[in-house]
Amino acid sequence: MSFSIVHLSDTHFGVAADLRLIQAVEDLVPDLDARLIVISGDLTQRARHGEFQAARAFIRELERSAPVYALPGNHDVQWWKRPLVPFSPEAKYAVHRKYFGPVLAPTLDFPEVVVAGAVTAHGLAWGSLTFRPGDLTIKGHLPTAEMARVRAVFEGSRPEQARILVTHHNILRGPLTQRTGLAWWRRAQEAIMASGAELILCGHDHHHNANELAGRLVVSCTGTLSTMLRGEYVPVFHRIQIDDDAIQIDEYCWDLETGRFRRGDAHHFARPGRIHEAETVAATR
């Protein structure tokens, strides 16, 4: 079993988009042999029609290489519409749906993997509120119903499939911000662990990170393809290789001198569930 994913995030089409990075990704992706391309939210800067049109054109170009999975981030939500249409909470996603279809977080089923998304971007919502005014419309949350749906998808998957969850908001603390993207993050982490996910793909914090949650959930948090960088971090995206007993995350880092992405560090993680299954089979022989 072998399955490769290109993981992008936070393109921020609009004033913040860096077209050099977008062009470099378009040029490189065909050579990365991806079976799937994931964009984990914040396709746009202000959720405007023209920005979504640019994002759609980018995705159509990527689809020449592999299917593309995209879900909304907090910048893709027209949260200001919610108070104006009190009986239609879905109005804030209307423009996203216009360009990317009615299902905000679809499920994809491949022979090797099953991919489920969970919408964490809800704009100005009770579940996303914190004690910091600056978090308004920026923080996300994981509704119980979203995680129940994801858990049902994973419970219905086949034993040989790797279970992949896509969210927008980062579930681990960013190395610079030292914050997760989710309100009530402990509860969210517990729900994610209980869902049965093996790998989670997220973004939001504009940093790149490859790590584990609780020693058994691999986390790919990729950076931004925009000018909205944090600290000394350079733009980075990930290529992920899933094999029978391991997950490898390769960093592709922006090289200012050449104007290209170059392969950087590689991070290797065992798949504990697969190792346990192998030991169980061996013990019964």
What is the total count of domains within the chain? 1
Mean pLDDT estimate for the chain: 90
**Structural domain span for residue 244:** 2-284
- 160-176 burial, b for 16+ CB within 10 Å, e for fewer? ebbbbbbbbbbbbbbee
Residue 283: predicted pLDDT:
36
Q: pLDDT tens, 26-53?
A: 999 999 999 999 999 999 999 999 999 9
The yes-or-no verdict on residue 191 having pLDDT over 80 is yes
Residue 278: predicted pLDDT:
37
> At 212, which CATH number?
3.60.21.10
Q: pLDDT tens, 143-190?
A: 999 999 999 999 999 999 999 999 999 999 988 788 899 998 899 999
Residue 89: predicted pLDDT:
66
